[in-house]
Chain A
């Protein structure tokens, strides 16, 4: 296996894991159906881009965008995370307060479509449909981005981020706070009856998820060096939902598993496919289209047969608990 490929795989896996952990916090643990998740990743990516790029009249001005502050690492990544969190505030305040959950979900879905449309049309803001290219990655002025050493450097930068996100998410999920989130997910009205403030809980998780999503975008954009509306269309969120549903809701191991099985697994499985099948050359766009069909089937299949996912939410047993007399009774979602 050549090392470029391995490094690319590792970075993509890292970004996907981070994104899935965040979405799992929002959806799996807290029950917030954030159909606009990809917008927060995109916000982080755009922020990291405009913070690390030179002013837009450089390179002969073929792109127009705001910012262009040419800040060194780690500012772009921090900026991306912060903007992801900031964006969650107005969105959350509008959507998460009084609406029933399916209305929340479609509002966020519509937001995702509209945001993409607005950015595409407002060319002066973030260079519209063409997007931003030639985004410098961290330390790309000191290490040649095309060299193998840069690939390894990037992996070395990504891994600590993954560990940090995993650490934060674990602390949240395995704490009394996480328990309150899960209770809210199970029965929001009953949660208010025992003193939980659902708006506060939802906003907290929405913002934390936004921060993590923004970070994932910042990491990704530094690696692939471009970011355009076509990269963050609304179905991208659905891939992440499929990942969380398949891997296992409500727990970080499930989220990681889902990230490896779905976005990473899919990419790799289709790369492995032969260019011809028994002499027939499939049309160039058939494979991506079939990938989407497969994603849809995965979601529907798992929700029917195994809604709790490959690795379900673990049962919490406390020290000193009596031995359970009943045989294992698995609770279907």
Chain B
């Protein structure tokens, strides 16, 4: 029984990591209608950016900012110089998926000669071990959960209370109408990529903190759980992604305790398949997997 309570704790951390990533991912989908398969690699690059800053003696929590900046910059460049030109050209959804896949491959393989094939780890002070009713978490792990909560609240605040947030939601719902209402959709889209890129960056660093080590190959692994969480919650729905992340995080950790840790991704995949078969639009989406025959 203790095993499961501990797994619950891990599940919360997992959910936090996934949530930060999935919200960014799903917002990119919501605003540009494309599945950015390079997302996992951007996370990995950001993780390494923070790594080098960390190696230079900076505390990992401060180095996280470097990760956020790297993620924001790379995501913005990716959208500006690769995705947008192809979309302007009229490339269909499938073409965009193939292009983002090609981009992910290039990013990963450009990183390999730079950082090598070996795994790396952050220098991180885990802090005190805190126990509560069978939950055992270090201070650092709790801090991760807190960071996730703060970011989720920030996103909620952004979307609900700010002009930018409203512009974002309008552009996501109906870009033509938004433009006709005077919203500078191109700029809104760029800002969304910067913000979601920063989320992606933070997610990459936090993911590196949560696992013992990471490498260039970690990028692809992140992507699967993120896609599962985003689809579960409803494509393009940030709140759905948060719920999806919570479910995926908890279920994968609990099943890892119940079955075996190597199959965590398989469980996430199984959830993805179930959602696709039973309710492709996810929990919250109005349009989503069933939208206009692609």
Contact = CB atoms under 8 A, between A and B. Distances in A.
A99 B289 contact: yes
A296 B269 contact: no
B276 A283 contact: no
Nearest to A287: B113
Contact of B220 (A35, A111, A113, A241): A113
Contact of A105 (B94, B220, B228): B94
Interface stretch (B48-56, B98-106, B120-128, B178-186): B98-106
Interface string B104-130: 011011101100010000000000000
Nearest to B85: A304
Interface stretch (B138-146, B166-174, B207-215, B259-267): B259-267
Interface of A: 31, 33, 35, 94-95, 98-103, 105-107, 109-111, 113-114, 117-118, 121, 188-189, 234-235, 238, 241, 245, 283, 285-286, 289-290, 292-293, 295-297, 299-300, 303-304, 307
A300 B280 contact: no
B105 A295 contact: yes
Interface of B: 34-35, 37, 82, 85-86, 89, 91, 93-99, 101-103, 105-106, 108-110, 112-113, 117, 220-221, 224, 227-228, 231, 260, 262-263, 265-266, 269, 272-273, 276-277, 280, 289-294
Given A106-B97, A295-B105, 17 more contacts: A35-B101, A99-B280, A102-B34, A105-B97, A106-B35, A109-B37, A110-B227, A111-B269, A114-B269, A118-B266, A289-B112, A292-B105, A296-B103, A296-B105, A296-B106, A297-B106, A304-B86
B99 A299 contact: yes
B95 A121 contact: no
Nearest to A198: B293
B234 to A, nearest CB: 13
Given A101-B94, A292-B105, A299-B99, A106 B266 contact: no
A101 B95 CA distance: 10
A94 B273 contact: yes
Contacts of A118: 263, 266
A121 B261 CA distance: 10
A245 B102 CA distance: 12
B276 A95 contact: yes
Contact of A238 (B82, B105, B117, B272): B105
Nearest to B267: A114
A110 B35 contact: no
The 4 nearest A-B residue pairs measured at CB: A296-B106, A100-B294, A101-B294, A292-B109
Interface of B (DSSP majority class): helix
B32 to A, nearest CB: 12
8 contacts: A33-B98, A94-B277, A99-B290, A102-B94, A106-B227, A109-B37, A110-B269, A285-B112
Given A105-B94, A117-B266, A296-B103, A289 B109 contact: yes
A100 B93 contact: yes
Given A238-B102, A285-B117, A300 B290 contact: no
A102 B294 contact: yes
Nearest to B105: A296
A333 to B, nearest CB: 9
A293 B41 CA distance: 14
Contacts of B265: 113-114, 117
Contact of B99 (A110, A188, A300): A300
A118 B270 CA distance: 12
A303 B101 contact: no
A110 B102 contact: no
A309 to B, nearest CB: 13
Given A292-B106, A300-B103, A285 B113 contact: yes
A110 B226 CA distance: 11
B263 A121 contact: yes
Nearest to A235: B105
Contacts of A33: 94, 97-98
B276 A107 contact: yes
Contact of A289 (B113, B231, B280): B113
Contacts of A295: 102, 105
A110 B231 CA distance: 13
A189 B103 contact: no
A35 B228 CA distance: 17
A303 B105 contact: no
B82 A100 contact: no
B293 A100 contact: yes
Nearest to B101: A238
B113 A286 contact: yes
Contacts of B102: 238, 295-297, 299-300
